[in-house]
Amino acid sequence: MAGPRRVVVTGMGAIGPVGLSAPDVWAAVRDGRSGVAPITRFDTDGFETTFAAEVKGFDAEGALGRKEARRMDRYAQYAVAAAREAAAQAGLSLAGDEAERVAVLVGTGVGGLETLEQGAATLAERGPRRLGPFFIPMLLPNMASGQVAIALGAKGSNFAPTSACASSAHAIGEAAGMIRRGEADAAVAGGGEAPITKLGVAGFNAMGALSTRNDDPAGASRPFDADRDGFVLAEGGAMLVLEERERAIARGATPLGEVVGYGSTDDANHIVQPAPGGEGAVRAMRMALTSAGIGPEDIDYVNAHGTSTPLNEKLETQALRTVFGDGLDRLPVSSTKSMTGHLLGAAAAIEAVICLAAIADSCVPPTTNFATPDPECRLDCVPNTARSAQLRHVMSSSLGFGGHNAVLIFAAPS
């Protein structure tokens, strides 16, 4: 009897605040370089927060073509560009009937917020007849997934998980499950997000969620540090090509890693605050370990959700302590959001790229801007400098508004 279908990663793509390709993103994160700077997208006069982690130097028309770029919101542009990079690395073939066995899942937290904001301004200033015909398609949260399928020719199952900051973790986990169950042979999965708009910044400021360290943007995202004061809004996109292992090897693809574990739960507690003790995250982590067939002692590194917000990190630390016990004292746990900022629905996808690159490079990325330990976050957070280490299994946690928890476990290729 044949064993369960295994799911490997054969391609990665990323567009982020620290780089315009997966290798560039990893190099910046490994070296501790920040992508946070004053906002250039709009005039920040009167805003509580005047900085963010913007994508820099991305030429959408050059990457996608003028016609296509003009018909996509920025969040979809990032997703499509990342998908093309991932597909090129994988050498993904979508000829003939194969296209019907390739799924696309692209998560996003807010979708086409820039398009929505611009459309509302046009309506208010110029009237209803001045809205363009692409206004609705461009703002839809499923349109990045649709555009990726169009760009690559993928005709399998296609949908867009929208679960706040867990969105792209759900996309990757559910895509891997489809391949495991035989519903697809391959999938392109990840996320895209572009929330750095007036509405986005003002809205998160109204919640009190963003850092207001305007005099030190690069030092503002400081996960697990006692002096943190909120997260840094970020944008970008990242995508993985997932394939059934035997199919990938048969066609000559090189596995970059394997998706071995996935857990998904909800807190059912509060719209933005995690459940006491991080119990929902605990269940997701344990579910991921069970599905991977390994124990807590087998995890070599955790890429934490670590948003640079006090309550979330206190409860995430409690969850990690519950799952790993005394082993947590010897386990490196870092947050790369200290450099990339928080990409909301695309955060898990860019962190998946980072986790897989960390495995390949035998390197644990740091938590930068760490100066003052928080006694409620007693972790080895790999402060400020990357660390060499052999990594067999890596866990990545994503915990979103609405109580959504999604945990992925990646393994070295074998």
Q: Are strands 37-38 and 257-266 parallel, antiparallel or unpaired?
A: unpaired
Q: How far is CA 102 from CA 77, 155, 159, 195, 331, in A?
A: 20, 6, 12, 29, 36
Is 305 considered catalytic here? yes
Query: Containing H/E element for 52?
Result: strand 51-52
Please identify which of the residues 305, 355, 363, 381 carries the catalytic annotation.
Answer: 305
107: Cβ contacts below 8 Å, ≥ 6 apart = 160, 161, 162, 163, 166, 167, 168, 169, 170, 171, 190, 191, 345, 346, 348, 349
Q: Are 338 and 222 in contact (CB under 8 A)?
A: yes
Q: Are 153 and 68 in contact (CB under 8 A)?
A: no
The Cα–Cα gap between 148 and 84 comes to: 8
Q: Compute how many other C-beta atoms are within 10 angstroms of the C-beta atom of residue 381.
A: 25
The Cα–Cα gap between 307 and 210 comes to: 10
Q: How far is CA 156 from CA 86, 87, 95, 172, 240, in A?
A: 17, 15, 13, 15, 16
Q: Are 241 and 254 in contact (CB under 8 A)?
A: no
Buried b (16+ CB within 10 A) or exposed e, 194-205: bbbbbebbebbb
Buried b (16+ CB within 10 A) or exposed e, 223-241: bbbeebebbbbbbbbbbbb
Please identify which of the residues 170, 270, 342, 363 carries the catalytic annotation.
Answer: 342
> Which residues face 237 on adjacent strands?
15, 192
Query: Helices 198-207 & 113-126, crossing angle to 10 degrees?
Result: 110
The C-alpha torsion from 63 through 65 and 67 to 72, rounded to 10°, is -20
Residues acting as catalytic residues: 165, 305, 342
